[in-house]
Structure formats: C-alpha cells, structure tokens
Chain A
Amino acid sequence: MNFWKNFKKNFLINFWSPIPAVIALGVLSAYYFGITGTYWAVTGEFTRWGGHILQAFNVDLSTWGYYQIMNMQGNSFTRVDGVMIIGMFAGCIAAAFWGNNVKFRLPSSKIRVFQALIGGIIAGFGARLGMGCNLASFFTGIPQFSLHAWIFTVAMIIGVYFGAKFTLLPMFRSKMKMQKVSCVKSLEKDETKINNFFTLGSLAFIAIIIWALYLIFFQNSTKLGMAMLFGSAFGLIIAKAQICFTSAFRDLFITGRSQMAKAIVLGMIVATIGVFSYIMMGQPAKIMWAGPNAIIGGLLFGFGIVLAGGCECGWMYRAVEGQVHFWIVGIGNVIGSTLLAFVWDDLSLSLATSWPKINLLESFGNYGGLFFNYGLLFLLFLLILILEKRYLNKSINR
C-alpha cells in the first residue's frame, strides 16, 4: 500500500520537473511525426473549429482560400489534429485533477479580461499568418528544417520583448500589495474533495486510453488512435510540469530566468535528429513559406501571447484547471485565427504564397542542412545565455 501511496504522490500528485519534461516532449514529437506524418500542432485545428462555427451559420467556405489550405474534411473526431487535441485535453484534465490543481478562478479585474481576449486574438491571428504557433513554427517547426520557423522564432522573440515591456506598463501592473502579518495563511484542504478529484482524473485518463485503443484495435484507425495517445501524453506532460512556452522568452526579459528557454532548445536538439531520421526514411518534411508572413506573424504572436499570459497549448491546461482567464484566451485564439482566414485571400500572395518554401535539407544537402540547423540551435542557446547575463548584470547594478 505504501508503494502505491508513494507512487501516487511522486508521479501523479506532485508537479514534474520541467527540463526532463520538455526533453520528453521533443522526443515524443519526433516519434509523433514518424507515426502520423504530421507534427505536433494545435492552432490549425483551432482555425478549423472557427470554420465549422462559420459553417453552422451557413457561411460558404469554398471561396475562403485559407480553409482550402487547412483541409476542412471530416471533423474533430476524424482528423489526426482533432483527436490529438481531444487526447491533449484528457491528459490536461487527468493532470489537473490528480494534482488537485482545479479551482474556479475569475479574472481579478476588467483589464485582465481585456488582456486575455485581445492578446488571444492577436496571438491567434499571428500564429495562423505565420503558419504555426509555438509548436508548428517553433518547437516542432524548427526540427522540420523549415526556414520559416526560424524567421518566425526570431520575430517572436522580438514580439515577446515588446509584449513584456507593454504588460508591465503601470496600467497593467497588478494592484496587489503586501500586508503586515504574523502567521501563515491557512490553505484549504478538503480530503474528500481531493480524493474525488483524483478519481475524476483517473476516469478521464482511463477513458482516453480505452478510446484510443478502441480506435486502434476495433476501428482500424491506427493513426487516429496513436495520435490520441500521443495527445494525452503531450497534455499530461505540459500540465504536470506546467510547461509554458510563453514564459520561456518573456521571463528572460522580466526576471532573467532562462530555465524554460534552455529546456526548449534542448527539446528541439533531440527532436531534430529524430525528425531527420524519419525524413531520411522517406517521410516528407512539413515546410512552409519563408515570407514576410513569418516575420509579421511572429511579431504579432510574440506580443499577443505575453499580453494574454499564455499561448495556444498553455491556455489548454490552464482552462481545465478552472482559470476563466484562459477560457477567454482560448476563445480569442479561435476568433483571431478565423479573422486571419477571413483576410487571407487579400494578403496571401504578397506575404506568403509567392514566397518560396525553404527546406534547409534541400538548400544545404541532407547533412549540410542537419548541421546548419544545429548551428542555429547553438546560436539560439547562446542568445539565451547572453540575454540572461544582460538582465542579471542590469539588475545587480540597480
């Protein structure tokens, strides 16, 4: 019995350490590409949700170019991206309820509601303009050797910088002040509630595993079932380790912390070689246009995620924890990506589709491209160290 108690506490209740978690995400995302033929990504599916909502209002999408690219066939239960996201939500629910992290939290002020909605819209718009979010144009896009992901990432870091400056303007700062006290605040501990939550988390986890296995063994939809399993693992990991891509560069500028940014680069280092091996075996890489869309999209996205307080996979686990703020961010994301689909036909030729899709493995040869990507990852790691040092030097001199 003690063994179970310890296991429960160490692995299911307590938070996980973020660095190994991000490296695990890198490894899993490479395998995910090998098995499903696509990369781990979420915003494309959010855009399709927006499309389905428009269809429900009898809007004819056949004239919308973006939805032609996005492939609107089927629904969330029949698309790889769709079932992967269902899996992710289940993994997030399991993590939140096992860890007793669920609490209904309302935004503390109207300004936060504004931040969540506007930031979510800007981030959703920017992500889809740049053909991906922190995943497809950064964490899982760079290991695909698509130059657009590098352009997006650099622009995103600049956008994050301005977002960080903007969100710390006096009007946005938190009004909470410290008070003089003489004892610790007692925190609510309701054992019955904790146990009930734990059971709920277990039910969500078991249900998604059964569903995925059913798809694999009874429906012969191996790809869908595997995508769902991978999704549940992605969701479980980001929620248990509280992985926040938004904080990676934001906090380099705000508090000088580099841990998450470094972890993400390490994750991409392991993912790159994994993806490379699948490409060598014949899996086609996912390459997007390296045009001004990646620059503008990256800038908007970086700014938007900081203003909103979370990005596209960040809001997912926070939403199931009961943080209403992130429900609004999620709604904003869907609105923003749908807005982009709306204006795409006016912008796409000049900003994206007339520009080349640059695959580093074609530009520099297979191994040239591999080492070029590693060279850039090394430079990104150096940049993180320089930004951290710059912040700490500044704060010591203050």
Chain B
Amino acid sequence: MNIENIVPDFRLDMQGEPCPYPAFNALEAMKELKKGQILEVISDCPQSINNIPHDAKAHGYEVLNIDSSGPTIRYLIKK
C-alpha cells in the first residue's frame, strides 16, 4: 500500500526509547483504536524491525507500510 494514500488517525512517537518499550506501547495504543483506524508508530530503535510488525500481526492488526530506509523507522498499523 502506497504511503501517499494512507492517512493515520494517531501517532505514537517512541524516539529515544529502547526495546521493549516501542513494541509494548504500540500494542497498548492499538487497544484504544476503533476498528479501521490507523496508528503511525515512530521508533528509532532499529531492533523494532523484528518486533513491531510481528507483534502487530500476531495480535490481529494489519501492517500497512514500513519505512525503514533511515535510522528512524515508521510503521503504519491498521486495526
């Protein structure tokens, strides 16, 4: 899915926080969303590439887009 067509409803900016907090807070935040809403998670812990997408899918959410081209990674997750 193209990034241009995605409009997030909420942003969780976790810059500066090490693992496991980005993944943990992202899952906690997703619980508060309504079905169909989109959360944008920003994390500069590169290790989150191995946990946020996996955990989001395992908990039943859809990962729409990941931009991991730089040190700060963006995840777009739909409930």
Query: Pick the contact of A242 from B8, B32, B50 — CB < 8 Å?
Result: B50
Task: Say whether chain B's binding surface is mostly helix, strand, loop, or mixed.
Answer: mixed
Most A CB atoms within 10 A — which of B9, B10, B17, B32? Answer: B17
Closest chain B CB from A363 CB (angstroms)? 37
> Is B50 touching A256 in the complex (CB atoms < 8 A)?
no
Question: Provided the pairs A105-B44, A257-B54 are in contact, do residues A188 and B70 lie with their beta carbons within 8 angstroms?
Answer: yes
Q: Please tell me the size bucket of the interface on B.
A: 35 or more
Most A CB atoms within 10 A — which of B3, B9, B19? Answer: B19
> Is B20 touching A167 in the complex (CB atoms < 8 A)?
yes
Residue of A nearest to B48 (CB): A242
> Is B42 touching A255 in the complex (CB atoms < 8 A)?
no
Residue of A nearest to B16 (CB): A108
Task: Say whether chain A's binding surface is mostly helix, strand, loop, or mixed.
Answer: loop
A side interface size, CB within 8 A: 56
Interface string of A29-48 (1 = CB under 8 A from B): 00000000000000000000
Give the residues in chain A near B8, CB-CB below 8 Å. Answer: 181-184
Question: Provided the pairs A107-B16, A181-B40, A392-B58 are in contact, do residues A15 and B49 lie with their beta carbons within 8 angstroms?
Answer: yes
Interface flag for A171 (CB, 8 Å): no
Give the residues in chain B near A257, CB-CB below 8 Å. Answer: 51, 54-55, 58
The segment out of A127-135, A172-180, A200-208, A376-384 that lies at the interface is A172-180
> Is A178 touching B12 in the complex (CB atoms < 8 A)?
yes
> Is B23 touching A255 in the complex (CB atoms < 8 A)?
yes
13 contacts between A and B (CB under 8 A): A103-B72, A176-B13, A176-B17, A179-B10, A179-B13, A187-B74, A188-B70, A188-B72, A194-B70, A244-B50, A247-B47, A251-B55, A310-B19
**Which 5 pairs, one residue from A and one from B, show the smallest C-beta to C-beta distance?**
A103-B71, A108-B16, A309-B18, A174-B21, A178-B12
